[in-house]
Structure 1
Amino acid sequence: MAVPVSLIRAQSYHRAELARSLTYVLEPLGGMAAFVKPGDRVLLKPNLLTGSRPAKECTTRPELVYAVAQQVQAAGGKPFLGDSPAFGSAYGVAKANGLLPLAQDLDLPIVELHGHRYPTDNPGFDHLRVSKEAMEADVVINLPKVKSHVQLTLTLGVKNLFGCVPGKMKAWWHMEAGKDVQRFGTMLVETARLIAPELTIVDGIVGHEGNGPSGGEPRDLGVLGASSNVFALDRAMVELLGVDPLAVPTVAQSLRLGACPAWDEIAFPLLTPNDLHVADWQLPAELMPIDFGLPRVVRSTFKHLYIRFIKEPVTAYAGRL
């Protein structure tokens, strides 16, 4: 049976228009009610990345998080927002990116993700340390941003789930697996398979091209996409952007490992990638190494702890889980 990937044109983050776009893109998948049942605890996992460049479209837009949370609540679910940014806390980065007022309006808790080891079916990664909150949620809704990436070419749905790895562990993985970009890509694919999000909705209304994930520039794309299969959605977005799938380690490894359906096994009930094709999407001018040496890991860990416990406020939004 073909895996549906729903793609539409969406031009605005205006609240009412975005709500209509979200309803439309989810219709071929059965709507939000196909994924969320009354009483479900639903983790919303946006790309929070950084609080330092809110005008550069580095993170999932608050308006999309709000629209998704509203639909989850309408379906009877109990949404909460969680991430583990590389630097700082989920609360601090969410606040810097304008999410706090929307979270308070919906009584949407913002939680820090904490790690726990879980077994995988890949002997090369027999245990991965990922978010306990993600693994114990009834539903995970993955909300990535379309961005170029100076280490991985593109960051989409699979890479966004690396945010479910505790902050300081990210630096460790860059050291442990970063010398082999394909091994690093495999680790990201296995992390995504372990978390297995029920739904991925990609924010491509405005993307971030060039030297991403934070050093590039905003780019109007006018695209909203959704699928129950994060690998199929990433494959479709790579096609839409005109990027060689084998040049994107997460996509290349998802194909090698059989996690991603074959192209002829993906169905497009609305628009196709060709309908939305972008001819001149800007990739990074030059790719950078992924691996971190031990001194960089120490510096990265210290920076994370400094921002998390000293620079940022220690209070967090006390929503109800």
Structure 2
Amino acid sequence: MSTVSLIRAHSYHPKTLETSLTTLLEPWGGMAAFVKPGDRVLLKPNLLTGSRPTQECVTRPELVAVVAQQVIEAGGKPFLGDSPAFGSAFGVARANGYLPLIESLNLPIVEFHGKRYQTVSEGFDHLRLSKEAMEADVVINLPKVKSHAQLTLTMGVKNLFGCVPGKMKAWWHLEAGKDVNRFGEMLVETARAINPNLTILDGIIGHEGNGPVKGQPRELGILAASDHVFSLDRTMVEILQVNPSLIPTITASQRLGLCPELTDIHYPLLTPQELQVSNWKLPDVLVPIDFGAPRVLKSTLRHLYIRWIKEPIAAYSQK
């Protein structure tokens, strides 16, 4: 039986967050249940964009800092990694206020590099994934709960799409985007392959409406953690009172036998019913997942412009 730990949390203040995270991980015995001395630990936040730092589009750096500190106290060696759609992980992290935590904890940021990995899926005989994620001793997945204009909601499973390196993500939109079921299965198979040891979801302030970047912040006051990412996502759908059939990653994980029933999930602290949210706003209109070839080319050129021109100029101007 998988476990999902749920608590109320209303503050990103470091001391308060430290207490909240300790409480959140108590059902397993703390961070030491996941991290052993000497482990290389990938922290995988949602570093979507550097252009809207006040819109709660990314995992808050305060939460990442507290997680990193507890990893260090457990004897682990944390490093930060992601593959943003545009720009570099370092550039997006800098734009969202991550530099103080990076400097204070001497936390490396890695850029992801792809490698071909075999999968157990019949529909995907291999996936090109970040070798940095696949070869880490421990992966801690740190998603932000957001509405999503293509996939209705983005949570733990979708956050692991960031472990698909570079513009391979745009290729998947081109290759699988015409079939939402296939695209959802690709995301689920990516999450199954990465197999995060721990997922900690930032739901203190979420992002609702026309997400993942054009919606509005929404205070939820929730932190969630699980050793099973599919259970955590199913739980959050229940809390937000969204129909699971609307979420391609949920329906795909159900088809593949990876998503348990709520009655098969253990809730040692609060239950989903105790945290239910009213009137969570979904996107006004869902937009197509598929990218045509011109859009893939445009996306690639934008990525290269931000990474090789805009970000270096921003870094130079801050010196």
TM-score (norm. length: structure 1): 0.97
Q: Distance in 2 between matches of 1:197 and 1:132?
A: 14
Partner of 2:15: 16
Q: Deviations over 1:228-272 (max 9, x none)?
A: 000000000000000011110001111110111222210111001
Residue 311 of structure 1 deviates from its aligned partner by: 1.5
1:127 partner letter: H
Cα deviation digits, residues 80-99 of structure 1 (max 9, x gap):
00000000000000000000
Give the match for residue 205 of structure 1: 204
Q: CA shift at 1:123, angstroms? A: 2.1
Task: Report the 3-state secondary structure (helix = DSSP H, G, I; strand = E; otherwise coil) of the residue aligned with 1:167.
Answer: coil
Give a deviation string over 1:270-305, Cα, whole Å, max 9, x none.
001110000110000110000000000011111111
SS in 1 for 2:54: helix
Question: Is 1:286 the equivalent of 2:285?
Answer: yes
Q: d(CA) in 1 for partners of 2:134 and 2:166?
A: 17
Note if 1:133 corresponds to 2:161: no
Aligned to 1:112: 111
Q: Which residue of 1 aligns with 2:92?
A: 93
Task: Quote the Cα distance in structure 2 between the aligned partners of 1:315 and 1:135.
Answer: 32
Structure 1 residue 306: deviation in Å? 1.4
Q: Is the 8 A contact 1:25 1:224 kept in 2?
A: yes
Residue in 2 that maps onto 1:83:
82
Partner of 1:35: 34
Q: Is the partner of 1:124 in helix, strand or coil?
A: coil
The residue number in structure 2 matching 1:172 is: 171
Distance in 1 between the 2:11 and 2:310 partners? 34
Equivalent residue for 2:274?
275
What is the distance in 1 between the residues matched to 2:99 and 2:177? 34
Tell me, in whole angstroms, the C-alpha distance in 1 between the residues paired with 2:29 and 2:185.
31
Q: What does residue 62 of structure 1 align with?
A: 61
Higher mean C-alpha deviation, range 143-152 or range 254-263: 254-263
CA distance in 1, matches of 2:82, 2:174: 21
Instruction: Report how far residue 3 of structure 1 moved.
Output: 1.1
* Paired positions, count: 315
Moved over 3 A (4+): none
Which residue does the alignment assign to 1:313? 312
> For residues 55 and 228 of structure 1, what CA distance do their matches in structure 2 show?
30
**Amino acid paired to 2:193:** L
Contact 1:6–1:29 at 8 Å: present in 2 too?
no
Cα distance in 2, alignment partners of residues 273 and 255 from structure 1: 19
Q: Percent of aligned positions with the same letter in both sequences?
A: 72
**Equivalent residue for 2:184?**
185
Q: Which runs of 5+ in 1 are unaligned?
A: 317-321
Deviations 1:46-87 (A, max 9, x none): 000000000000000000000000000000000000000000
Distance in 1 between the 2:59 and 2:183 partners? Answer: 23
Alpha-carbon distance in 1 for matches of 2:307, 2:164: 16
Report the Cα offset of residue 308 of structure 1.
1.2
Shift in CA distance, 213/279, structure 1 to aligned 2, threshold 3 Å: same
Structure 2 gap ranges (5+): none
Q: Secondary structure at the match of 1:125?
A: coil
Give per-residue Cα distances to partners, 1:155-189, cap 9 Å, x unaligned: 00000000001120111000100001111000000
CA positional deviation for 1:145: 0.1
2:47 match: 48
* Residue pair 1:50, 1:87 contacting (<8 A) in 2 also: yes
Q: TM-score normalized by structure 2?
A: 0.97
Q: Which amino acid is 1:180 matched to?
A: D
CA contact (8 A) 1:131 1:166 kept: yes
Q: Which residue of 2 aligns with 1:319?
A: none
SS in 2 for 1:175: helix
Q: CA RMSD in A?
A: 1.1
In 1, distance between residues paired with 2:301 and 2:236?
Answer: 35
Maintained 8 Å contact 1:161/1:192: yes
Q: Contact conserved, 1:147 with 1:207, CA < 8 A, in 2?
A: yes
**Whole-Å separation in 2 of the counterparts to 1:282 and 1:189:** 24
